Structure 1
Amino acid sequence: MPTQSTATLLPPESDGPRIRLITLVNLRWLALLGQSITVVVAYLTLSLDLHLVLCAAAIAAGAGANIVLSRGQPANARLSDRAAFGFLLFDVLQLSAILFLTGGLNNPFAVLFMAPVTISATVLSLRATVLLAATAIAMISLLGGYHLALRTLDGAVLELPELFLVGFWVAVLVGTLFQSGFAWRLTRDTEQLSRALLATQTALAREQKLQDLGGVVAAAAHELNTPLATIKLVSAELVDDLADQPELREDAELIRSQADRCRDILRSMGRAGKSDRHMRVAPVEAVLREAAAPHDDRGIEIVYDMTGEPGSPDRPPQVQRLPEVIHGLRNLIQNAVDFAEERVWIDIRWSGQSLMVRVTDDGRGYPPEVLPRLGDPFLRSRKRPGSEGMGLGLFIAKTLLERTGARVTFGNAAAPGGRRRRTHGGAQASVVWPLASIAAPESGALGENTPFLP
């Protein structure tokens, strides 16, 4: 079975529209409502001498822009990166105008600069977010020195002491950078994890489809054996009966040869048995050899070693042929073969309570600095030219195997001696199952095969 690069399982990263217009419009309406309430309350209850007409004009500009956008496009329209950037840039400038009219950084609502930059960090590209953050920082800095003073009705100027003003400027600046940086990192990590999980589900569905297809082909081969045998028998009798009719005899021989060909094709396509216990369980070595089969001809020797613990059964256990197990083990073996120099060892150990599979290669091993992060998606260390990296493959393997009850760990093997005769240790992946979660259920006879066709 040919392998499929884990990179092809990944959905492409979208550079298209990511946020709905209605979402930003509603957020702007909420901001405008807050600004209106603040201005009215400050004027009526705090006796502040505000430039009401200019403040109303700034708020009206935001409302007008919302109305134009809402009428110009469907509410469920999604904005491109550039359009969303322009939308949020307008919000930064509109907020700057309001703060300019109401005391600049002396106005505690200057912290609202964090909002549009944080929104940008969650939905826009890094470049757009950096540009918006730079604009916000520039406006924050300008408002510290250029603004209309905030006065009471009796003419008193309300302003912070210089030290507090500088401290507030630094606080708003750091808060904006921290909030946007944190939001950007968290959003990207979440997107990467979502894409990796989608790739895992795609891999599992593909493995399940292949397994189901194998069962169908095996069942078809089983059911077609009888009619093909009948065709062969009858054609053989015709060949004998038509000894004195060469032209008809050639036709009968052709029918017999084609029946043999059909039998050979079906035998090569199918596996022994069909949708019965033979398709659901197998010895652990058979499952591992099936997982490693796509990598047998890649020039790397794969060595199997099976040993039971003292007091355990002499024969390796029968395990369930789950798609998660086969694909997970295949990814671990592929990673080992990718980085091995000459050979890969697959060690199988079992006891009465557990089953362990350990895959070790004779390559350089994992860099110590990435060991704690192995199993996370999109790790790009230990990469060879032409390789897509090992992060997604190991993530898929770990996720699928843990779904079957296994515990997966990664490390570097100590330089062994004796029969392996390696000069240094390589990368090592260990998978340990409680035997109850992976072993085939005890049963008696296999049961009667159900016909493939009614």
Structure 2
Amino acid sequence: MAVQPEENTRLGRASRHIRLQTIVWLRWLAVVGQSATILIVAFGLNFPLPLLTCAVLIGALAVANLFLSARFPATYRLDPWEATLLLAFDLLQLTALIYITGGLSNPFAPLICVQVIIAFASQPMKHSLMLLVFALVCVTTIAFSPFPVPWYPDETLPIQLIIHVGIWCSIVAMMLFAAFYAYRVSHEANQLADALAATELVLEREKHLSQLDGLAAAAAHELGTPLATISVVAKEMERELGRDDRFREDVALLRSQSERCRDILRRLTSLSADGEEHLRKLPLSSLIEEVMAPHREFGIKLRLVEKSSRSGEPVGARNAGIIYGLGNLLENAVDYARESVTVTAEHDAQQVKVMIEDDGQGYAPDILARIGEPYVTKRQNEARAGGLGLGLFIAKTLLERSGATLSFENRGPDAAGARVTVVWPRAIMDDKKSN
């Protein structure tokens, strides 16, 4: 029931490929912002500036942007190395601009953190760390800028060394904090998106399996007409050839095989018709049995406790998500149980409850607080296949989509092990519509 790790790896890699158009638009924003700032400082405030050098640096960024827009389509996605090189170029251009306009005394010096934040939000850790190191070198470089900050021509703006050190420390601290925060947020978002994509994939597979009976009936219907034609032609050939020994056995074989094919298709059609009600509607007891059946051969004793009578039990639409979700919870319980797993089912007029208990070590306190997050893979200081990882996240997501409420807990001091309780409103489990 687990999703293959290769699929998750491919999803994770694809989510790290940023669109070139995103970088292009950010660069145009930088070009406009830098140009506006230079014009305001030089002509609005009349501060002395090296206008030609500033114009060359801003123009270099604009020309690079025009080249990228002409060379690549708007939908092109950058691999991590390409994105890192482009961000490093942007960082170098901004560093040079700040270096000739006052260095750390320039109030826009903290903008040097922007490229680092973008990298940590969109690129793998290795590439982001490389850009972070480069950014730290750039910040340190502008700290030694010999150029004064633009100010009134007849005044000087003295900046003490201790202020420069404080500004350098604040920029580095902001860079590190913002980079860590951006990485954690984007990493968790990517994990959640990948896990939800895997959930959809699993649900589609389960629905595909549940629809195979319909495909069999359709195949029987479509093949029935040509097989009937073959059978009629075989009968005509048998009658025309009479006692011709050369073809009599071949024609008889052709006719018998066509009749055999028709019998097989007839059984497929009747199987679909006879089992249609069972496949579309599933009583609670049948649902529990279908979930438990694949796990009876693993050396762990499975015990079913039905607290409510089967008369009047809910009969709902067959839901692949519910079957998969409960099956995954039971798989986790079997994986961590020592000897037995107990499944308790009960229902009344208001709700339907299914409880799964094992006699293992139970949940560690730190894991219990994080259950339901993707890629949580440990219980009591151990990691095992089929444990609390992506499978549990998928199960929890599918069951909650079906309207269920889940709770996870340890059984308590009197009994070792873990307990998962799944509760649905009775109206949902009695739904006769297909999901």
TM-score category of the 2 structures, normalised to the smaller one: 0.7 to 0.9
Partner of 2:285: 285
Q: Which amino acid aligns with 2:323?
A: I
Partner of 1:36: 35
- Give the Cα–Cα distance (whole angstroms) in 2 for the partners of residues 265 and 302 of structure 1: 38
- Give the Cα–Cα distance (whole angstroms) in 2 for the partners of residues 332 and 269 of structure 1: 35
2:342 to 345, 360, 367: 345
Q: Does the 8 Å contact 2:88/2:131 carry over to 1?
A: yes
Partner of 1:400: 398
Shift of 1:431: 0.4
1:373-420 CA-to-partner distances (Å, cap 9, x unmatched) read 11111112138676154221111111111112110111122365xxxx
- Give the Cα–Cα distance (whole angstroms) in 1 for the partners of residues 276 and 32 of structure 2: 67
Partner of 1:364: 361
Q: 1:28 to 1:440 in 2, by over 3 A?
A: closer
Q: 1:252 to 1:154 in 2, by over 3 A?
A: closer
Shift of 1:364: 1.7
Moved more, 162-171 or 172-181: 162-171
- Three-state SS of the structure 1 residue aligned to 2:307 is strand
Q: Does the 8 Å contact 2:3/2:202 carry over to 1?
A: no
Q: TM-score with structure 1 length normalisation?
A: 0.79
Shift of 1:171: 2.5
Partner of 2:325: 328
- Three-state SS of the structure 1 residue aligned to 2:10 is coil
Shift of 1:109: 0.6
Moved more, 57-66 or 178-187: 57-66
Q: Which amino acid aligns with 1:98?
A: L
Q: 1:122 to 1:269 in 2, by over 3 A?
A: farther
Q: Aligned pair 1:319/2:316, yes or no?
A: yes
Consecutive unaligned residues of structure 1, counting only runs of 5 or more, are 232-247, 417-423, 443-454
Consecutive unaligned residues of structure 2, counting only runs of 5 or more, are 232-247
Aligned length: 410
Q: Aligned pair 1:414/2:412, yes or no?
A: yes
- Give the Cα–Cα distance (whole angstroms) in 1 for the partners of residues 423 and 6 of structure 2: 29
Shift of 1:122: 1.9
Q: Does the 8 Å contact 1:10/1:195 carry over to 2?
A: yes
Q: Does the 8 Å contact 1:102/1:147 carry over to 2?
A: no
- Give the Cα–Cα distance (whole angstroms) in 2 for the partners of residues 302 and 43 of structure 1: 80
Q: 1:23 to 1:385 in 2, by over 3 A?
A: closer
- Give the Cα–Cα distance (whole angstroms) in 2 for the partners of residues 291 and 192 of structure 1: 28
Partner of 2:295: 295
- Three-state SS of the structure 2 residue aligned to 1:157 is coil
Q: Which amino acid aligns with 2:280?
A: R
1:341-372 CA-to-partner distances (Å, cap 9, x unmatched) read 22211111222211110111222222121111
Q: Aligned pair 1:172/2:163, yes or no?
A: no
Partner of 1:47: 46
Moved more, 369-378 or 62-71: 62-71
- Give the Cα–Cα distance (whole angstroms) in 2 for the partners of residues 386 and 269 of structure 1: 44
Q: 1:18 to 1:150 in 2, by over 3 A?
A: same
Q: 1:262 to 1:192 in 2, by over 3 A?
A: farther
Partner of 1:80: 79
Q: Does the 8 Å contact 1:7/1:388 carry over to 2?
A: no
Show the 5 A alignment for 1:10-25.
Answer: 10=8, 12-15=10-13, 18-25=17-24
Shift of 1:283: 2.2
Q: 1:302 to 1:266 in 2, by over 3 A?
A: farther
Q: Does the 8 Å contact 1:325/1:401 carry over to 2?
A: yes
Q: Does the 8 Å contact 1:150/1:157 carry over to 2?
A: no
Partner of 2:120: 121
Q: Does the 8 Å contact 1:319/1:439 carry over to 2?
A: yes
Q: 1:302 to 1:110 in 2, by over 3 A?
A: same
Show the 5 A alignment for 1:32-181.
Answer: 32-152=31-151, 154-181=153-180
Shift of 1:58: 1.9
Q: Does the 8 Å contact 1:313/1:352 carry over to 2?
A: no
Q: 1:388 to 1:137 in 2, by over 3 A?
A: farther
Percent identity over paired residues:
35
**C-alpha RMSD over aligned residues:** 3.7
Q: 1:122 to 1:342 in 2, by over 3 A?
A: same
Q: Aligned pair 1:378/2:351, yes or no?
A: no
Q: 1:373 to 1:262 in 2, by over 3 A?
A: farther
Q: 1:293 to 1:344 in 2, by over 3 A?
A: same
Q: 1:50 to 1:348 in 2, by over 3 A?
A: same
Q: Which amino acid aligns with 1:375?
A: G
- Give the Cα–Cα distance (whole angstroms) in 2 for the partners of residues 411 and 221 of structure 1: 50
- Give the Cα–Cα distance (whole angstroms) in 2 for the partners of residues 336 and 47 of structure 1: 74
Q: 1:120 to 1:381 in 2, by over 3 A?
A: same
Q: Does the 8 Å contact 2:291/2:326 carry over to 1?
A: yes
Shift of 1:435: 0.8
- Give the Cα–Cα distance (whole angstroms) in 2 for the partners of residues 426 and 95 of structure 1: 58
Q: Which amino acid aligns with 2:392?
A: L
Moved more, 320-329 or 380-389: 380-389
Shift of 1:9: 5.9
Q: Does the 8 Å contact 2:377/2:389 carry over to 1?
A: yes
